[in-house]
A and B are shown apart, each in its own frame.
Chain A
Amino acid sequence: MSTSITGRSAVDELPGPDGRGPLHGDGAGTGRLGDRLFGGAATASGIFVIALVTLVGVFLVAQAIPALQADQASFLTSREWATAGAEPRFGIVDLLWATVVTAVIAMAIAVPLGVAIALFITQYAPAWLSRPAAATIDLLAAVPSIVFGFWGLTIAGQYFEPVATVIDRALGWIPFFAQPEDGPSAKSTLAFAGVILAIMVLPIVTAISREVFAQVPTAHKEGALALGATQWEMIRTAVLPFGKPGVISAAMLGLGRALGETLAVTILLSSLNDGAAFSSSIFSGGATFASKIALGIQEANTATSTGALIAAGLVLFVLTFVVNAIARVVIERRKAFSE
């Protein structure tokens, strides 16, 4: 069984055993009634999926436009979020900042760690440990987001306090790493939300990297070893170059997940006060697109306040769309090389 936890696999796009590409029917339909019905139903399902994604886009756009027209501030450059009243003013700068910062921190931790774990599973682990190790990391994906958030806030968060102090002492001269005077406790900061996100996307990065590393041709590896390379040199010269596009697409898919992750972030992050000055520190609070929507939709009672949140959701949709599309392009390109 090679069903990956992300539901997609790097081998999807490779040609089948008969040399046909993945997307070629065999043309064996015969135009009998049964064939036409069944084939029609299959095609209809495919078209339904296309329609579904299109509808998501159309509905979000249609509902966001009235709110965007009512917006008195610039949606793309304003930091405000006041959607009540006759003159709503809202913009996404703060949301975008918090979303990107948490996701980048998550990737900075999860990608090296995930690649190392994937290397461990495919290259280093003794045979008896390899499968259980992979299954164990996969189990991490089975822990629900809300449990991660609650665990982070009530249990793991307190141990992040000293880590934050150390980072502040060592790198505090850079505003990005400085702990603000009146900042929230370390467990409610963007930095810690990023750490928890890293744990959550770790199984995705590991699973996909693992799959490509396992596909490295044995001839490459044995060639390197036969030339006298140590195991690490073999990995550096044979495994990593072969797996690079796979790792990039794994990182992109993980990034897509980190950008849209909702509950854990919502539970952890402390929101900023209205009108608080912009802080470029990772040790300040904030709200991501997803957490803003999750918190705001409960109280949204006017068309404008709902529309503003839907507009934010639209930006998130576009953001993840772009990231996933890049991942897809990278995989396609790898295919061109491996054939």
Chain B
Amino acid sequence: MSTIELEAGPRGGAPAPAAPPSFAPKSGPRALRDNLARIVMWGAFVLGVIPLVWILVSTILKGGSMLLESQWWTNSQAGITDRRVGGGAVHAIQGTLIQAAVTTVISVPVGVMTAVYLVEYGRGRLARAVSFMVDILTGIPSIVAALFVYALWVTTFGFQRVAFAVCLALVLLMIPTIVRSTEEMLKLVPNELREASYALGVPKWKTIFKVVLPTAFSGIVTGVLLGVARVMGETAPLLVLGPYTPVIVTDLFATNMATLPTMINQSRSENLQPALDRVWGAALTLILLIFLLNLLGRFVGRFSKVKS
């Protein structure tokens, strides 16, 4: 269309426009608006970074000294009141790690297999329903997940509030993250790999197990690590299902277990300096743990065999 008109112009003898009509060089209000927009975007980014830097700096300033004492990493809070300085966070660190590990062990098989189903097997209505339910699970508030486990574990079965119940609530929050990230990685595995495997007579399940999953492995690990990082900071399920305890507990079913978030929650209500120091110390420890997992996840992601 446009080429014809361009040719028709000179041939018909009509005077060609001397200059493009309305697109004067950037000037006046247009240039102003353009520059204004650029400033606003830069400003928005700076504004977004401020809270992050502020939180990190204040946490490091207030909690850093706690982490430098060796007893922080070796002692629990057994026998130490809010008025006394001392003790460590090893009970809470250990609790956080144990619960995260148990949650991961339960969530990974279910999450990965669900993703395998969605990508490799699923068709039709059931696949749509599963995909929709994963979406719902993604959006479920952590307090509702905790409430569900409370309704199941405490009210219906009449069990005590123990560390394992917390893990169940966290599983609910972790499964959708794993499903979504694994799904994304499996989709990136080139179809030629599967077809080559089928052509060699390898059954489908072995193809998935020996070709597809290993190819996507590092990507899946990244997704899992990011999922762990997410549930580690969750506090609501702990508040509902796993009250704080100041001593080291390793039995998941015996009683409740201390974790870093509940340690923060326990000490924050006291207006006493030793307790407040411990809040910031625990907060910094938790942030460091989560950042470390995030970094590790991104690092593993670098070795991914499939590139997006």
- Chain B residues lying within 8 Å of A140, measured Cβ to Cβ, are 48, 51-52
B147 touches A262 (CB 8 A): no
A253 to B194, CA, bound (A): 35
Indicate whether A97 reaches chain B with its CB closer than 8 angstroms: no
* B204 in complex: contacting residue of A28, A148, A154, A306, CB < 8 Å: A28
Q: Which of A11, A125, A199, A263 has the most CB of B within 10 A?
A: A263
CB contact between A297 and one of B118, B138, B206, B240 (< 8 Å): that residue:
B240
Least CB distance from B244 to A in Å reads 11
B129 at the interface (CB under 8 A from A): yes
- Which of A22, A139, A147 meets B291, CB within 8 Å? A139
Nearest chain B residue, comparing its CB with the CB of A328: B135
Q: When A23-B118, A144-B261, A147-B59 are in contact, do A139 and B123 touch as well, CB less than 8 Å? A: no
Q: Mark A194-228, 1 if CB is under 8 A from B, else 0.
A: 00000100100010000000000000000000011
Contact A324 B122 (CB under 8 A): no
Q: Across the interface, do B139 and A3 meet the contact criterion of CB distance under 8 Å?
A: no
B8 within 8 A of A: no
Q: Mark B96-128, 1 if CB is under 8 A from A, else 0.
A: 000000000000011001101111111110111
* Cβ contacts under 8 Å, A199 to chain B: 51
With A150-B283, A263-B239 as contacts: A116 and B118 at CB distance below 8 Å: no
Assess the A142–B233 pair: CB atoms within 8 A.
yes
Stretch at the interface among A51-59, A85-93, A166-174, A270-278: A51-59
CB-defined contacts of A23 to chain B, threshold 8 Å: 118, 122-124, 127-128, 131
CB distance from A142 to the nearest CB of B (A): 5
Residues of A within 8 A of B135 (CB): 8, 324, 328
What is the chain B residue whose CB lies nearest that of A18?
B191
Within the assembled complex, what's the spacing in Å between the Cα atoms of A309 and B223?
34
Chain A 93-130 interface 0/1 with B at a Cβ cutoff of 8 Å (1 = within)? 00000000000000000000110110111011100000
Q: Is A233 an interface residue (CB 8 A)?
A: yes
Q: Is B229 interfacial (CB 8 A cutoff)?
A: yes
Q: A34-B206, A39-B205, A263-B239 are in contact. Are A144 and B290 (CB under 8 A)?
A: yes
With A1-B308, A150-B283, A324-B136 as contacts: A233 and B30 at CB distance below 8 Å:
yes
CB distance from B182 to the nearest CB of A (A): 10
For A260, the chain B residues whose CB sits under 8 A away are: 140-144
Query: What separation, in Å, do the CA atoms of A150 and B111 have in the docked complex?
Result: 33
Question: Within 8 Å CB of B176, what residues of A?
Answer: 7-8
Which residue of the partner chain, among A30, A60, A148, A235, contacts B151 with CB atoms under 8 Å?
Answer: A60
Q: A301 vs B139: C-alpha distance in the bound complex, in angstroms?
A: 29
B158-187 interface with A by 8 A CB criterion: 172, 175-181, 183-184, 187
Question: Bound state CA distance, A45 and B264, in angstroms?
Answer: 36
The reply on B37 being an interface residue by CB < 8 A is: yes
**Of B38-46, B67-75, B83-91, which stretch is located at the interface?**
B38-46
A123 to B44, CA, bound (A): 13
- Are A7 and B180 touching (Cβ within 8 A)? yes
Which residues of chain B are near A257, meaning CB under 8 Å? 139, 141
> Taking each of A34, A41, A46, which has the highest tally of chain B beta carbons within 10 Å of its own beta carbon?
A46
B222 to chain A, nearest CB (A): 6
Using Cβ atoms and an 8 Å threshold, which residues of chain B touch A316? 141, 143-144
Residue-wise interface mask of A (295-339) relative to B, using a CB-CB cutoff of 8 A (1 in contact, 0 not): 001100001001001100100110011011101100000000000
Q: Hey, which chain A residues are within 8 Å of B226, CB to CB?
A: 3, 5, 7
The answer to whether B58 and A290 touch across the interface, beta carbons within 8 angstroms, is: no
Set of chain A residues within 8 Å of B211, measured between Cβ atoms: none
Chain B proximity of A303: nearest CB distance (Å): 8
A32, B203: Cβ atoms closer than 8 Å: yes
Query: Known contacts A136-B52, A151-B55; is A113 also within 8 Å of B44 by CB?
Result: yes
Asked whether any CB of chain B lies closer than 8 Å to the CB of A248, the reply is no
B residues near A141, Cβ cutoff 8 Å: 230
**CB-CB under 8 A for A7 and B138, given A46-B127, A120-B41, A146-B235:** yes
- For residue B219, CB closer than 8 A to chain A, the reply is yes
Is the Cβ of B155 less than 8 Å from the Cβ of A306? yes
Q: Is A182 part of the contact surface with B, judged by Cβ < 8 Å?
A: no
* Residues of B in contact with A (beta carbons under 8 Å apart): 20, 23, 26, 30-31, 33-34, 36-38, 40-42, 44-45, 47-49, 51-52, 54-55, 58-59, 109-110, 113-114, 116-124, 126-145, 147-148, 150-152, 155-156, 172, 175-181, 183-184, 187, 190-191, 194, 198, 203-209, 219, 222-223, 226-227, 229-230, 232-236, 239-240, 243, 261, 264-265, 268, 276, 279, 283, 286-287, 290-291, 294, 298, 301-302, 304, 308
12 pairs, CB–CB < 8 Å, chain A vs chain B: A6-B138, A8-B180, A16-B191, A18-B191, A35-B205, A38-B204, A50-B129, A50-B133, A114-B48, A151-B54, A233-B34, A260-B143
Nearest 4 CB-CB pairs, A to B?
A260-B141, A144-B233, A38-B205, A228-B23
